Chain A
Amino acid sequence: MESFRWYLVFVPLSAVMGLVVVYPLAFSLYLSLTNTAGTPELSNYAAMLSASTFWSSLNISLLYSLTSTILAVAIGLVLTMLLTYRFRFRGLLEVVCLLPLAVAPIVVGTVFAPSGFWDDVQSFLVFQLHQPYFNELSPSFFFPTMFVSEAWEWAPLIMLVALSVVQGIPKETTEAAELSGATFLQKFRMVVLPAIFKSPVMQFVVVLRFIDAMRAFEIPLAWSNWLGYTNSLGSPVDTISLYLYKLLYAPSLGFPIGVASAVALALFGITLTGSLVLLRLMRAVGG
């Protein structure tokens, strides 16, 4: 009856989305399929696919995304376990655990820089615990550090969602487990963890985190800088987003906008596939 008028409320939304999604997408497609003279050709895609820097950045992004997502989930679950336990400073600890979430990603990149946090750790290990020096600029150090700092920022999010799942567990279930004499750890392992992993909301958030980490930019940018590759390609930490940024900003490359658009669309293809998974999970929740 009134259904026609309902559609009108989506008109302003569609207009804004047209301006920030549809139009840029179409423009990107045009840029990627033409050369600087405006003639249509596929050379940009050929250039993208033949560049070893593209493939290595794709690899780095995948590694970065997988590892940091798994770490964030692992840390988030440890925090969740601790916070489902009843003790005196539980409320305070929950607030403290949330604090990394508000740090701007670019600041996370600087906080975990060799000259900040790690020099203190280094100094503590060497002078207090008499351990040997470690090289802060070696790949076996900076890759794990990047993954951990990404996970450090986002583990609280996993924790928050997990805690909301825990709240939804029926009281009868935990009481039944208690009656059968289950310890805290047994209850967590056999009742809470399965509930968390089965929750479509949790799955949604983990996939979303993975997609966001695929697009990760700020922490790799900071590390590329610490490693001495401020605006130049070929740093070992170039993720796809950082690769794109350098394509556009490195003065020596002459603004290869067609190739950059092609790479951006490739990344868009990846995230779009991911968001199809998200849509399915969203439907499962009924959102």
Chain B
Amino acid sequence: MGLGTGDGPQGRRAWKTRVLLYAVVGVVFVYSLWPILTMFLEGYNVDLGAVFAGKAIRFIGGLSYSGGINPTPYYFLQALGAEAYPRLALNTLVVSALSISIALAVGIPAAYALARLDVRGKTLVSYLLLALRTVSQFVVIIPLYITYSALGLYDTFPGIALAEQMLILSVAVWMLKGFFADVPRDVYEAATLFGKREWQTFRRVVLPMVAPGIVVTTMFALVLIWNDFLIADSLTGAATKTVAVGVWEGLSITQLSFSAVTWNGLNAAGTLAYIPAMAVMLAVRKYLARGFSLGLTD
């Protein structure tokens, strides 16, 4: 990548360009990081607003201002208490494990066929997957809520895992399809030459080649489920609540308000929710464009 610098000869002009460049780079750094940094600092009860205000804000109406720089790990420790974040994270991982297993089980054969197949029906499958990806979640949530309540599936792991297919199934099929398409045609031809049957070719030759792609797909889907709020909020209760829902509800604090305690707790929880998602996402960052564009980019 890179179009080169396109600068003129060295000297004054190049120097000016460089200053401008690093000024812009600085602005982009602040733009991307400040909101995240604010969340992190507020979780530690460090209010940058007070820093900027200097002394001015400390004596509103003659009263000393209680906010400001009082760093404490209290809110993080509170969030990390056994009943809060670890429980939510565990719930989310169980939901993800179940949900991704379903998506891979039905998605891998379909993706393999889509990557190799040249007949009618492909467009129909593509369109159904698109409809699944773009459907208004409520069209699905309302009936599922009623059905789950009748069947006793509300607030259970299988119930929510099935509903999360709305989020991950089409993405998984398309990502996997891309990885299957990456396998050179020669490989299939060679396997056929050696008299392997389709199943054997798939199982012994292609699947091992695509294994890294399956891992990438799994990680991508994990982030989607981890960050999902709407589906999880509607179909989980106390037993299966996921991270994003828990963060919004202020972990164990049920009533959200502007009070300092819940605000800092919210930010501490938000930070804790963010860090794993960020780590997983950066690990698969070469494939993010592919995942988000439903497999259309390389």
Contact = CB atoms under 8 A, between A and B. Distances in A.
Interface of A: 2-3, 5-7, 9-10, 12-13, 15-17, 19-21, 23-25, 27-28, 31, 79, 82-87, 89-90, 93, 95-108, 110-112, 115-117, 119-120, 122-124, 126-128, 149, 152, 157, 160-161, 163-164, 166-167, 174, 178, 182-185, 187-188, 192, 200-201, 204-205, 208, 211-212, 215, 217-218, 222, 225, 230, 240-241, 244-245, 248, 257, 260-261, 263-265, 267-268, 271-272, 274-275, 278-279, 282-283, 285, 287
B134 A102 contact: no
B28 A17 contact: no
10 contacts: A10-B113, A20-B132, A21-B132, A104-B229, A104-B277, A107-B39, A116-B39, A201-B293, A201-B297, A205-B296
Query: Which 3 pairs show the lowest CB-CB distances between chains A and B?
Result: A184-B6, A27-B143, A123-B49
B126 interface: yes
* Interface residues of A, dominant DSSP: helix
For chain B, which range describes its interface: under 10, 10 to 19, 20 to 34, or 35 or more residues? 35 or more
Contact of B110 (A10, A85, A201): A10
A241 B198 contact: no
A156 B146 CA distance: 38
B248 A106 contact: yes
A98 B139 contact: no
A287 B126 contact: yes
Contact of A102 (B50, B117, B278): B278
Interface centre among B38, B121, B146 (most CB of A within 10 A): B38
B222 to A, nearest CB: 11
B130 A278 contact: yes
Given A103-B36, A104-B229, A106-B229, A17 B132 contact: yes
Contacts of A161: 289, 292-293, 297
A215 B153 CA distance: 26
B216 interface: no
Contacts of A217: 137, 229-230
A104 B256 contact: no
Nearest to A78: B28
A167 B270 CA distance: 35
Given A84-B3, A110-B270, A261-B142, A9 B147 contact: no
A128 B52 contact: yes
Interface string B44-63: 00011110111011000000
A124 B280 CA distance: 34
